Amino acid sequence: MPEIFVTLPDGSAKSVPSGATVADVAASIGARLAAAAIAGRVDGRLVDVTAPVTDGARVAIVTERDAEALDVLRHSAAHVMAEAVKQLFPLAKFGVGPSIEDGFYYDIEIDRTFTPDDLGAIEERMRAIVAEEHPFERVTLDKLAALSVFEGQPYKQELIAALPDDEELSTYTQGIFTDLCRGPHVPHTGWIKAFKLMKVAGAYWRGDADRPMLQRIYGTAWFSEKDLQAYITRLEEAEKRDHRKLGKELDLFHFDELAGSGLVFYHPKGARVLHELIEWLSADLYERGYQEIRTPHIYKADVWRTSGHWDYYQENMYPFQIDEGEGKEPTDYAVKPMNCPGALLVYRADVRSYRDLPMRLFEFGTVYRHEKSGVVHGLMRARGFTQDDAHIFCTGEQIIPEVKAMLDIVKFIMDTFGFEYTAEVSTRPEKSVGRDEDWVLATKALMTALEEWGLPYQINEGDGAFYGPKIDIKVKDAIGRIWQLSTIQVDFNNPERFGITYRTAENTEQQPFMLHRAIFGSMERFFGILIEHTAGAFPTWLAPVQAVVIPIADRHLEHCEAVRGRLGKAGVRAEVYADNDPMRVKIAKAQQQKVPYMLVVGDKEIEVDTVGVRERLAGDIGAMGVEEFAAKVLAERP
């Protein structure tokens, strides 16, 4: 049989028989690799192990150690779940069933609502399918044949009808279930050993509220039972840390449907945390040469037409009209979804020189975005939120040093709160504006800044803003979850649209670049992440109440109030627990409220003017003078 040669990831060449598959390549390398092969990459494309290889192809074997492996496993689990549903509910109609972060789902239409008992029965049927080790068999076919295969499945037929007539389609069959799918999949159902169905939710077909509501079954799948159990434990821990639950328990904030979805009301304690965050970061920014601005919450539509938001972002905005008086046409306005036009209008309010650059303007500006109700989620995805925005106007030569300076702020903040973090560079999206050369220059500048600063990064192709590329900073919280947080963007579009310039040393007019950056990102989102990261136990400097003063008896109450006053003058946020409860109950209340310090006052403490200090975690740490304790608290501020 004639031989062909393929190139392995280490650059070596491997000879295999003509017509060999990915599985054959794995077997030619070793029996252990063949047994571990889940899928393959051929010339960079993810394929099944049964996919053929061609002469000269670059071939990599995908095992469970590879990043893509879990997606392949979970997508396969979605098919197994759909087969189990089909066995139990033969008249079910199927939508789509992709893998998602930490799991998979399938959208399904049946003539009644799925119950918890149904999920249990589906899981049991899945286990039987897994035990039968059905292979996932791929078939290619044309559009007409595909429509015939999916007769009686209207959602599949709709997907097929929307495809070009000459497109080659593929289906996968395992057992009695056939699905329209690009693949790849694990070799057979026996690979899917550790899985669990999590919940059922409603989902409009194709995300359109005017289309049918399907039932979405969510599940998760892992390569081992140990990994599955660890994931379930993380979910249980995440539920305990849920910022919406803790927000209520700690009296930080609430949402009120009378006011509208996604609009947060901060209570005094929550407002104090935000105040401390803003004051802390503002002081740091002033030291770094930033200047603060404040801009309006609404603008005429002319501003948004100039910026491009009216054309590219209007579906996420809140437009309205203002009656300008008798005989005049109403004027279009919109509540701001972004702060950037305000900074541009501040910049262009005066003549600027190269000596003014870089000009660093920051603003804690509140914006409003029309998020769909299905994605609104507490503080993490709100419709009204405040951003720690800054806009830097600079020359092309200043982009790299300015971005590196922003990365220094990122490090300062992430280190302060104990977040591990990574970077991602997002490149030009399909829907975008601007010249190719500007995109190339800006994207390269972001990459160079990251490389010179020493922060590794990944590329996220096509996910930049419509006006320029960006760096996204992702953080890992205390229980291992990843959150997108900070963003740094280059904008060469709005400076041109708003016609801003600066006078060069040669007395000519030049257009500056504009850098957008938000380190906290949304203050609401950061607050929510911080609540869950700390489980509501904020560091002392940020806690809304840093200490509670607890009288042993009522006769000590007056002295406790005096202690609170002295602490307040020293800059310590303190409260007196004056309720007629036993001291142990007051201490338990302070612990439940995550107060960093409890100060016990009785006859002995009054006599020598001290307080008995209990720390939230360490317990009793001894007596201190009031001023000594205040100094200790203030020293904990970063």
Mean pLDDT of 61-74: 94
394 is catalytic: no
Is 80 exceeded by the pLDDT of residue 127?
Answer: yes
Give the SS3 label for residue 603.
Answer: helix
Are residues 501 and 354 part of one domain?
A: yes
Are residues 210 and 314 part of one domain?
A: no
Nearest Cα residue to 289 out of 407, 446, 405: 405
Residue at 257 is within a domain: no
Mean pLDDT of 113-130: 96
Q: Output the CA torsion 278→281→286→288 (10° steps).
A: -160
251 is catalytic: no
Other beta carbons within 10 angstroms of residue 38's beta carbon come to 24
300 beta partners: 333
Exactly one of 86, 516, 559, 594 is catalytic; which is it? Answer: 516
Nearest Cα residue to 281 out of 359, 383, 386, 404: 386
Residue at 328 is within a domain: yes
Task: For residue 312, name the pLDDT band (cuts at 50, 70, 90).
Answer: confident
Query: What pTM was computed for the model?
Result: 0.82
Question: Alpha helices, DSSP H only, in 94-164?
Answer: 116-131, 143-149, 154-161
Nearest Cα residue to 599 out of 550, 528, 536: 550
Are residues 316 and 385 part of one domain?
A: yes
Whole-angstrom Cα distance, residue 606 to residue 560?
9
Q: What is the pLDDT of residues 473-528, one digit of tens each?
A: 999 888 888 888 999 999 888 999 999 999 999 999 999 999 999 999 999 999 99
533 is catalytic: no
Are residues 601 and 575 part of one domain?
A: yes
How many CA within 13 A on the CB side of residue 148? Answer: 5
Contact 518, 489 (CB under 8 A): no
Whole-angstrom Cα distance, residue 529 to residue 244?
11
Residue at 365 is within a domain: yes
- Tokens for 441, please give them: 């220059």
How far, in whole angstroms, is CA 139 from its chain's centroid? 37
What is the torsional sign of CA 568, 574, 580, 584?
A: negative
Give the SS3 label for residue 444.
Answer: helix
Mean pLDDT of 67-83: 96
Exactly one of 86, 383, 391, 614 is catalytic; which is it? Answer: 391
Q: What is the pLDDT of residues 347-371, one digit of tens each?
A: 999 999 999 999 999 999 999 999 8
> Which residue carries 């303007």 as its tokens?
361
Exactly one of 181, 340, 394, 560 is catalytic; which is it? Answer: 340
Are residues 494 and 510 part of one domain?
A: yes
Domain of residue 224: give its range: 69-228
- Tokens for 116, please give them: 């918890």
Task: For residue 201, name the pLDDT band (cuts at 50, 70, 90).
Answer: very high
174 is catalytic: no
Rounded to the nearest 5 degrees, what angle is found at the Cα of 164, between the Cα atoms of 163 and 165?
115
Exactly one of 369, 533, 556, 614 is catalytic; which is it? Answer: 369
For residue 219, the domain's CATH number is 3.30.980.10
Domain count of the fold of the chain: 4
pLDDT at 1: 61
pLDDT at 373: 77
Are residues 358 and 450 part of one domain?
A: yes
Instruction: Quote the percentage of the chain above a pLDDT of 90.
Output: 86
Task: For residue 275, name the pLDDT band (cuts at 50, 70, 90).
Answer: very high
Q: Which residues contact 131 (CB under 8 A, 6 or more apart)?
A: 190
Residue at 630 is within a domain: yes
Other beta carbons within 10 angstroms of residue 55's beta carbon come to 11
Whole-angstrom Cα distance, residue 473 to residue 84?
40
What is the torsional sign of CA 207, 211, 216, 221?
A: negative
pLDDT at 479: 85
Mean pLDDT of 555-574: 96
340 is catalytic: yes
Residue at 333 is within a domain: yes
Exactly one of 470, 525, 533, 573 is catalytic; which is it? Answer: 470
How far, in whole angstroms, is CA 517 from its chain's centroid? 17
pLDDT at 498: 95
Nearest Cα residue to 376 out of 235, 263, 465: 263
391 is catalytic: yes
Final residue of a domain: which of 490, 510, 534? 534
Average pLDDT of the chain to the nearest whole number: 94
| Amino acid (one-letter) located at 372 | K
Whole-angstrom Cα distance, residue 613 to residue 81?
57
Task: For residue 324, name the pLDDT band (cuts at 50, 70, 90).
Answer: confident
How far, in whole angstroms, is CA 356 from its chain's centroid? 36
Whole-angstrom Cα distance, residue 66 to residue 63?
6
Is 80 exceeded by the pLDDT of residue 36?
Answer: yes
Whole-angstrom Cα distance, residue 247 to residue 151?
50
Whole-angstrom Cα distance, residue 174 to residue 192?
13
How many CA within 13 A on the CB side of residue 399? Answer: 26
Residue at 251 is within a domain: no
Mean pLDDT of 389-400: 94
Are residues 89 and 147 part of one domain?
A: yes
- Tokens for 95, please give them: 């939508």
Is 80 exceeded by the pLDDT of residue 586?
Answer: yes
Whole-angstrom Cα distance, residue 500 to residue 323?
31
Question: Alpha helices, DSSP H only, in 135-264?
Answer: 143-149, 154-161, 225-241, 243-249
Are residues 497 and 358 part of one domain?
A: yes
Is 90 exceeded by the pLDDT of residue 390?
Answer: yes
Mean pLDDT of 526-549: 96
Instruction: Quote the percentage of the chain above a pLDDT of 70.
Output: 100
pLDDT at 313: 86
Are residues 460 and 597 part of one domain?
A: no
157 is catalytic: no
Final residue of a domain: which of 183, 213, 228? 228
Are residues 87 and 39 part of one domain?
A: no
Q: What is the pLDDT of residues 436-453, one digit of tens each?
A: 888 888 899 999 999 999
Are residues 146 and 105 part of one domain?
A: yes
DSSP 8-state assignment for residue 518: E
For residue 596, the domain's CATH number is 3.40.50.800
- DSSP string of 343-408, one letter each residue: HHHHHTTS--BGGGPSEEEEEEEEEE----TTT-BTTTB-SEEEEEEEEEEE-GGGHHHHHHHHHH
Residue at 234 is within a domain: no
Exactly one of 48, 71, 179, 389 is catalytic; which is it? Answer: 389
Final residue of a domain: which of 508, 534, 560? 534
21 beta partners: 52
- Helices 268-287 and 523-534: angle between axes, nearest 10 degrees: 110
Are residues 515 and 372 part of one domain?
A: yes
Mean pLDDT of 138-166: 94
List % helix, strand, coil for the chain (3-state, nearest 5). 40, 30, 35
Is 90 exceeded by the pLDDT of residue 465?
Answer: no
Task: For residue 419, name the pLDDT band (cuts at 50, 70, 90).
Answer: very high
For residue 36, the domain's CATH number is 3.10.20.30
Exactly one of 87, 153, 387, 398 is catalytic; which is it? Answer: 387
Residue at 236 is within a domain: no
